[in-house]
Amino acid sequence: MSDNPETGHRLNPRSPREAIQPEPAPPPPGRSRHVRNPVVMLLNLVMTILVVGIVIGGAFLYWGKLQFDEPGPLTQDKTIIVPQGATLDSITGSLERQGVISEGWVFSTGVRIYKNAAKLKAGEYLFKARSSMQDVMNTMVEGKAILHGVTIPEGFTSEQVVARLNANDILIGDLTAIPPEGSLLPDTYKFNRGTTRQQVLDRMKNAHDRALDEIWNRRADDLPIETPEELVILASIVEKETGRADERSRVAGVFINRLKRGMRLESDPTILYGLHGGSAWQESRTILRSELNKPNAYNTYQINGLPPGPIANPGRAAMEAVANPSRTDEIFFVADGTGGHQFSSTLEQHNRNVARWREVEKKRREEAEKAAAEKAAEDAAGEATDGTGNGEAPAAN
């Protein structure tokens, strides 16, 4: 029997031998016309390229991430200054030149991928040894710059404050104007390299305003003080009268009691400020009797009540002492020779305390004169020898 023309299968075998022969396999299907289409072929090529590109790109990113996170080349801690207005490229170049990072393009690419290119802050940074590029980026984004400090002691005049800020060689920009007396809060102020002196001065002014507002709102009810400005004036006097923290409230209590009784404050520092202004305490001064009676708008031996303005910049503790002074009946105090004061409620007690202080002063003066005489004698003996210790005068040339 013949083969089926469509399938190629035999319908009726011609012999038993033919019957057991395997049937021929069907021919392969014809190639689709779509496969041969140029568009399809182009798409296949593009897809292949994309897949390969993704694989290569992923491997590249993985390698870059490893580079970005691995320990850096620094063998020891290093300080780097990033100036204001520096671009990512200039920062990268500086870090690479100074050995903080090894591959600048990896760093800049990583910063851009993290979208931190515009977040790197200027300042002075301390990078630890072996800091990774990730560590370097995070430090600059968070602005963890080295902090410097300037300390303004309590009781500094505004003139002294400006002089100290101008003497600081890390701050920039000179100060010429002197702020009003009593308008600044003494403290230690931290700042980054590149901070201006005016910025620190502004911080001191703002800190003073905040502290004064807070303290004024917590003041005692029966104070003979009508305004925050008067509180600052009296606090500045307290600040210059005692440097001991345990005495501030007590000294403030004495002055409050005197104001309530209509007594003059009779504070020596007010005389000095009236005579010398903001430079009153830039050197050691002694009040002469002629100066005690000299006309002086700040001299509280001559005027009633408070002077016309502060005589220094008081600290927070002095202002708090005036706002909530000790509750005593004391109206006098005098130095006791140990850095503190003797307080008294009557003139009789005060006179005894003054007499003891005079004895202390007399003893100190005698000791100083004795020491000066001994030193002068030693100097004279030294000049009379030739430096060999044999007591012979040097030979004349």
Reduced to 3 states (helix: H, G, I; strand: E, B; else coil), residue 63 is helix
pLDDT at 12: 61
Contact yes or no for 155/273 (Cβ under 8 A): no
Reduced to 3 states (helix: H, G, I; strand: E, B; else coil), residue 248 is helix
Using alpha carbons, select from 113, 118, 126, 133 the residue that is nearest to residue 85.
118
- Phi, psi angles (nearest 5°) of residue 391: 80, 5
pLDDT tens for 284-335 read: 888 888 888 888 999 999 999 999 999 999 999 999 999 999 999 999 999 8
Contact yes or no for 68/132 (Cβ under 8 A): yes
| C-alpha span between 119 and 136 (Å, rounded) | 13
Contact yes or no for 123/141 (Cβ under 8 A): no
Give me 250's structure tokens.
Answer: 């007590």
Residue carrying structure tokens 């002089």? 163
Q: Is 254 left (phi over 0), alpha (psi -120 to 50) or beta?
A: alpha
pLDDT tens for 101-155 read: 998 999 999 999 999 999 999 889 999 999 999 999 999 999 899 999 999 999 9
β-strand pairing of 341-344 with 332-335: antiparallel
pLDDT tens for 9-54 read: 555 656 666 666 666 666 666 555 555 667 766 777 777 777 776 7
Say if residue 374 is exposed, middle or buried (CB neighbours under 10 Å; 0-12, 13-18, 19+).
exposed
pLDDT at 240: 96
Residue carrying structure tokens 């200027």? 122
| C-alpha span between 182 and 239 (Å, rounded) | 11
DSSP state of 159: H
| C-alpha span between 382 and 386 (Å, rounded) | 8
Mean per-residue pLDDT over the chain, rounded: 86
pLDDT at 362: 86
Amino acid, single-letter form, for residue 213: D
Beta bridge partners of 188: 151
- Top pLDDT among 72 and 63 is at 72
User: How much is the pTM?
Assistant: 0.73
pLDDT at 394: 35
Q: Which residues contact 278 (CB under 8 A, 6 or more apart)?
A: 157, 158, 159, 160, 178, 181
| C-alpha span between 44 and 354 (Å, rounded) | 107
